[in-house]
Structure 1
C-alpha cells in the first residue's frame, strides 16, 4: 500500500538508504536470545518471548533489559542493573548474531535492482557499526551496500540527520536527492530532519501500524520498492 504524495524532484545522483533491523532483516530472535542469556546467567531463565516481545527488541538492548527486569522485579527497574548487563548482552549477541536472523522476502533482489537502475545504496542503522558489519558479513550481503553508518560511527545517531547524510555521501550519492527506507518512528523523524522522503515497511515489527507516522509511502513487499522509489525521487 502506498499513498499519493507528490513526487519530490531534486538534482544529483539518486540515493536509497536502508535501516537494517526490522527493515532489511528480522533480527529480533537473536536480539531477544542475547537478552535472555543475561537473565539466564542471573538465574531468571528466559524472561523475554521472541514473539510477544519482538517490537521491544527493535528498540535496542537497554529496552529489552528494562522490560525483562521489570518482569522479574515486579515492575521495579534499577538503571544500574541495565548498565551492568548491557555489555554482557552485546557479547552474547556478537557470539550468536545470525542464528535466527532472516532477511525479509525480496529484500536483496530489490537492492540489486536499485543498483542496476543507477541508484546509490547504503545503510544507516542504530546498531553499533561493528555489530552491523559483522551481521552483514555473516549474511553475505555486506558487499551489496556502498556505505554503512552505525550508531557509533558519528558522535550522533538517528533521528539526528547527520548519519543519514553521511550514509548518502558515503554511498556516492546526493543527500538532497535521497530517501530513507525504515520501519520505526526514529526512521520517520530522521527523514523529516534531513528533509527527504521516508518509506516505512508494513511487514516490520509494528506491521501496518506504522501508517500512523504518515510516511511518504508504505511498503507491503520489497517487490514494490522500485515503483515507490521512482515515484518519490525519480
Structure 2
C-alpha cells in the first residue's frame, strides 16, 4: 500500500540498489542458493553461473536450473536459510556507509530500490548503520507480487509520490536489471563496477562509476 507522503520540491532523488551496490552479500546468497539446490537434489552449476546470481529474484534464477514444479520447494529452502542467518552474511563495500550519510546530509532524498526481501533489507541496513540515512525503504516482498526490480521501483515511485518527477531521480545499481527496471520509468542509472555486473551490463547505463569518489562526482554533476 502506498504511503501518504511526498518528496519536497527541489530535492533530487537517489534510488539505491542494495546487493552489489551498498553491500557485498554474495557469501550468504551463494550459500543459500547452493542449499536450495541440494534440498531438491539439483546439481550445482558452474562457479561462473553462481557468480551472477546476486540481484535478480532468486526464484527466477532457480527456474533456470530445474523443472518448474521444483522451484517452490527450492525457494522455500533458500528463504529458510536466509531467515536462519544467511541475510546477515554481508559487509558494506568500502566507503558506502559514509557515502550514504553524505548523500543525506547534502539534502538528497535517499530511497532503496532492492530485490532483497524487505525484512532482510531492513535488518542488514540497520546492522551496517545506514538505515537512519534512508528516507524510504523500497524492497521486494518476500512472498508476493512485488519481486521484480521494476515492481519494486513502481512501489517506491507510488509510495513517495514522484510519478511526475522521474527526471529528478537517479538509480544507482550494478546489474542490468537495475538499469532496465529504472529505464521503464524514464530514470537514468549510474552503474557501479564494484558489484556483480560486467561491462556489457554497465554499458546500458547513462553513467558509470568505478569508485565511490567517482560516484559522488557523477551525482553532483547530474543534480547541478
TM surpasses 0.5: yes
Q: CA deviation at 1:145?
A: 0.8
Q: CA deviation at 1:199?
A: 0.6
Question: Partner residue of 1:16?
Answer: 14
Question: Partner residue of 1:4?
Answer: none
Q: CA deviation at 1:120?
A: 1.2
1:122 to 103, 111, 114: 111
1:65 to 34, 43, 62: 62
- The DSSP-based 3-state class of the residue aligned with 1:30 is helix
Which stretches of structure 1, 4 residues or more, deviate above 6 A after TM superposition? none
Question: Partner residue of 2:170?
Answer: 179
Q: CA deviation at 1:42?
A: 5.0
Question: What are the superposed Cα offsets for residues 109-129 of structure 1, whole Å, 9 maximum, x if unpaired?
Answer: 211211221111110111221
* Aligned-partner Cα distance in 2 for 1:64–1:155: 17
With normalisation by structure 2, the TM-score equals 0.80
Aligned residues: 211
Map of 1:76-95 to 2, 5 A cutoff? 77-95=66-84
Question: Partner residue of 1:218?
Answer: 208
**Structure 1 segments unaligned to the other structure (5+ residues):** 1-10, 71-76
**Structure 2 segments unaligned to the other structure (5+ residues):** 1-8
1:201 to 192, 202, 205: 192
Q: CA deviation at 1:65?
A: 3.0
Q: Does 1:103 align with 2:92?
A: yes
Segment of structure 1 superposing worse, 87-96 or 187-196 = 187-196
Question: Partner residue of 1:25?
Answer: 23
- Contact map agreement 1:199 1:216 (CA 8 A) in 2: yes
With normalisation by structure 1, the TM-score equals 0.77
- Contact map agreement 2:39 2:74 (CA 8 A) in 1: no
Greater Cα radius of gyration, structure 1 or 2: 1
Segment of structure 1 superposing worse, 35-44 or 77-86 = 35-44
- Contact map agreement 2:20 2:54 (CA 8 A) in 1: no
